[in-house]
Amino acid sequence: MITVKRFQADWCGPCQALKPIFSQLRTEYIKVIFEDIDVDNDPTQAQQFGIRSVPTVVFLNNGSEVARLTGAQNKQTYIQHLDKILT
């Protein structure tokens, strides 16, 4: 099972810019679980994953971290990571 955790905050401009990208990814990768974690509302999970800045996107394969991207990236970068994990 592939899970993508997007750590973000409401006050973060780049985090807000990623919202439409992740909405599109959700429709294109229906077998992938996408989670949005607000670091202010869920500091425990942010600490568990060692999140130091937002946005940070963590890719998990069967519960194990396989990739991490910090900062806002373009949609193609996320697609490349997802395709690599799914193959």
Instruction: Please tell me the predicted confidence (pLDDT) of residue 87.
Output: 85
User: Could you tell me the residue ranges of all domains in the chain?
Assistant: 2-86
Domain 2-86 indexed as CATH 3.40.30.10: yes
Residue with the two structure tokens 């890719």? 59
Catalytic residue chosen out of the listed positions 4, 12, 25, 57: 12
Instruction: Name residues of the chain where pLDDT drops below 70.
Output: none
The neighbour count for residue 74, using CB atoms within 10 Å, is: 9
Catalytic residue chosen out of the listed positions 4, 5, 15, 58: 15
Please indicate whether residue 19 is annotated as part of the active site.
no
Instruction: Please tell me the predicted confidence (pLDDT) of residue 49.
Output: 96
Q: Mean of the per-residue pLDDT values for the chain?
A: 96
| Predicted TM-score of the model (pTM) | 0.94
DSSP 37-50: EETTT-HHHHHHTT
CA distance 24 to 8: 17
Please indicate whether residue 15 is annotated as part of the active site.
yes
The helix/strand/coil state of 4 is strand
